[in-house]
Amino acid sequence: MSTLWSKGKSADKMVEEFTVGNDRIFDLRLAACDIKGSMAHIKMLSSINLLEPAEEKTLSAELEKLLGEVEAGNFRLADDVEDIHSQVEFILTERVGEIGKKIHSGRSRNDQVLTDIKLYLREESEKFRDEVYTLFTLLQELSEKYKGVLLPGYTHGQIAMPSSFGLWFGAYAETLVDDMAAIYYAWLVVNQNPLGSAAGYGSSFPLDREMTTKLLGFREMNYNSVAAQMSRGKSEKAIASALASVASTLNKLSADCCMYMTPNFGFISFPDELTTGSSIMPHKKNPDVWELLRASANRVESVPNEIALLTTNLPHGYHRDFQLLKEILFPAIDKMHKMLEMAHYMLSNIRVNENILDSSLYDYLFTVEEVNRRVLSGVPFRDAYRQVGIEVQNGLFRADRRVEHTHKGSIGNLSTPDIKSKMDNILKMFTSQS
């Protein structure tokens, strides 16, 4: 295998295969980020006279071509090349000669991979921002559409008080606001420029780190070179924690949908083509999508812990342990994109049972409503509570299905615009910090 740092002796083949592992597979998705980082770096090198203007022009033109190849899907890592950084430099040297070897001046693979990962995670966090907002918008639309349709509310798994589909959909919309805040925090963590920290202790070259920060669109830089290297693992964990927050929401939503779809509940349904059947029971409509969403969410929620375990007890500086972060986090990123897509697709086709409370099964949902009516008429709360309780025990309670809730966040006042305002305020923070 070709290595740019070879000192004349080849690594043992078993050692080489073990240490490279799956890195080449995951490195491919960093190709565009690696090239963009190199483009900014050589502009900076030219500005401090470590590259001639003509050399920078030649290298920039070739990197632009290479970026186009990546975007067209025509870029590959050669079988004998260890990582994306080596591949880009080898290609440049093949195409433009010796000046291709100059692009590594003032850099280490440590700050190079950090830059790649931060650029990549910044892009991914912005994709998740947009996907979560799309799901949020749908949930708010469903909340308003079904705000007048009552739904049993439960505590301890027991029938409790009247809820509504408006309240249910709206709850998940507002919960996504908290998840968006987690995505924003992760975006802040990764949106800092580590380029120029080299192996973690800076460089004797007069690097212009402000210039590369601006060229790469970072919000600011990791100033301290050691701190920049210490952000490896923390950046990945920040993104993983944000994904785990979203996954927690999708997990609970999936569990609700699996339960509400059962004939025992019958609150919601989906078109036949979005469910699966049984091999022996012709009546079955299984919620396989929601079950897999629920299980996938559980797996994503484990990722921050796995990252924490991998990075715990490491002293500062680079360690090869960090290489395994990619194979922990990158599949979780792919899975979360698909999960958000499927949740949106399923909810876009949801069918709501608008006559759930017609059944006498749900009469006792309205005991609290009756207690409150009596309190409003002047009966002390404890007396009203006791009166209704005795009526229930003696089979004398008759449900009055009128629901008169007016306070913010209740069945009668979903506060949909207020929840949207909360979300919009977080979204504005992304742009104001750019």
Given this model, what pLDDT does residue 19 score?
A: 59
* Among 13-22, 345-354, 366-375, the least confident range: 13-22
User: Considering only CA atoms, which of 170, 99, 162, 102 is closest in space to residue 137?
Assistant: 170
pLDDT at 143 over 60: yes
Given this model, what pLDDT does residue 18 score?
A: 63
Report the alpha-carbon distance of residue 76 to residue 277 in Å, rounded.
Answer: 42
114 domain-assigned: no
6 domain-assigned: no
Task: Assess whether 381 and 280 both reside in one domain.
Answer: no
Given this model, what pLDDT does residue 130 score?
A: 98
Report the pLDDT averaged over residues 366-386.
Answer: 95
Using alpha carbons only, give the angle 253, 257, 261 rounded to the nearest 5 degrees: 175
When pLDDT is cut at 50, 70 and 90, the band that residue 79 belongs to is confident
One-letter amino acid at 205 equals F
Task: Assess whether 293 and 282 both reside in one domain.
Answer: yes
Most confident by average pLDDT, 90-104, 274-288, 291-305: 291-305
Residues 6 or more apart whose CB falls under 8 angstroms from that of 280 comprise none
Query: Can you spell out the DSSP letters for 229-244?
Result: HHTTTHHHHHHHHHHH
Structure tokens at 260: 């509400």
Q: Report, as residue numbers or ranges, the catalytic residues.
A: 156, 278
Report the alpha-carbon distance of residue 343 to residue 326 in Å, rounded.
Answer: 25
Tell me the per-residue pLDDT of 219-228, one tens digit each, with 9 for 90 and over. 999 999 999 9
Domain boundary among 39, 72, 105: 105
Domain boundary among 75, 105, 135: 105
Strand 192-193 vs strand 158-164: parallel, antiparallel, or unpaired? Answer: unpaired
Task: Assess whether 351 and 365 both reside in one domain.
Answer: no
Report the pLDDT averaged over residues 179-191.
Answer: 98
Distance, CA of 383 to chain centre: 50
Given this model, what pLDDT does residue 86 score?
A: 87
Task: Assess whether 229 and 352 both reside in one domain.
Answer: yes
Given this model, what pLDDT does residue 318 score?
A: 87
pLDDT at 2 over 60: no
pLDDT at 12 over 80: no
Given this model, what pLDDT does residue 76 score?
A: 87
Given this model, what pLDDT does residue 274 score?
A: 86
Task: Assess whether 183 and 56 both reside in one domain.
Answer: no
Domain encompassing residue 383:
359-393
Given this model, what pLDDT does residue 136 score?
A: 98
433 or 75, greater pLDDT: 75
Task: Assess whether 158 and 230 both reside in one domain.
Answer: yes
Report the alpha-carbon distance of residue 337 to residue 335 in Å, rounded.
Answer: 6
Given this model, what pLDDT does residue 9 score?
A: 53
Report the alpha-carbon distance of residue 171 to residue 92 in Å, rounded.
Answer: 53
Domain boundary among 58, 82, 105: 105
210 domain-assigned: no
- Provide long-range contacts, Cβ within 8 A and 24+ apart, for 365-368: 365/152, 365/153, 365/159, 365/160, 365/161, 365/162, 365/399, 366/162, 366/399, 366/400, 366/401, 366/403, 367/392, 367/397, 368/161
pLDDT at 108 over 80: yes
| Helical packing angle, 288-301 and 234-261, nearest 10° | 150
369 domain-assigned: yes
Task: Assess whether 158 and 306 both reside in one domain.
Answer: yes
- Percent of the chain at pLDDT exceeding 70: 92
Domain count along the chain: 3
Mean model confidence pLDDT for the chain = 92
* Among 36-50, 161-175, 227-241, 263-277, the least confident range: 263-277
Query: Can you spell out the DSSP letters for 172-215?
Result: HHHHHHHHHHHHHHHHHHHSEE-TT-TTTT--SS---HHHHHHH
Task: Assess whether 259 and 352 both reside in one domain.
Answer: yes
Report the alpha-carbon distance of residue 19 to residue 322 in Å, rounded.
Answer: 12
Report the alpha-carbon distance of residue 291 to residue 210 in Å, rounded.
Answer: 48
Report the alpha-carbon distance of residue 36 to residue 311 in Å, rounded.
Answer: 28
pLDDT at 275 over 70: yes
277 or 250, greater pLDDT: 250
Rg (CA), the chain: 29
Task: Assess whether 333 and 377 both reside in one domain.
Answer: no
Report the alpha-carbon distance of residue 428 to residue 108 in Å, rounded.
Answer: 35
Report the pLDDT averaged over residues 279-299.
Answer: 84
Task: Assess whether 201 and 142 both reside in one domain.
Answer: yes
When pLDDT is cut at 50, 70 and 90, the band that residue 82 belongs to is confident
133 domain-assigned: yes
CATH number at residue 73: 1.10.275.10
Given this model, what pLDDT does residue 186 score?
A: 98
Query: Can you spell out the DSSP letters for 37-100?
Result: HHHHHHHHHHHTTSS-HHHHHHHHHHHHHHHHHHHTT-----TTB-SHHHHHHHHHHHHHGGGG
Stated pTM of the model: 0.91
Task: Assess whether 265 and 169 both reside in one domain.
Answer: yes
146 domain-assigned: yes
Report the pLDDT averaged over residues 106-117.
Answer: 94
Query: For the purposes of burial, counting CB atoms within 10 Å of the CB of 395, is it exposed (0-12), middle (13-18) or buried (19 or more)?
Result: exposed
Strand 150-155 vs strand 158-164: parallel, antiparallel, or unpaired? Answer: antiparallel
139 domain-assigned: yes
Residues 6 or more apart whose CB falls under 8 angstroms from that of 289 comprise 274, 275, 342, 346
Given this model, what pLDDT does residue 21 score?
A: 61
212 domain-assigned: no
Task: Assess whether 62 and 134 both reside in one domain.
Answer: no
pLDDT at 277 over 80: no
Report the alpha-carbon distance of residue 35 to residue 55 in Å, rounded.
Answer: 16
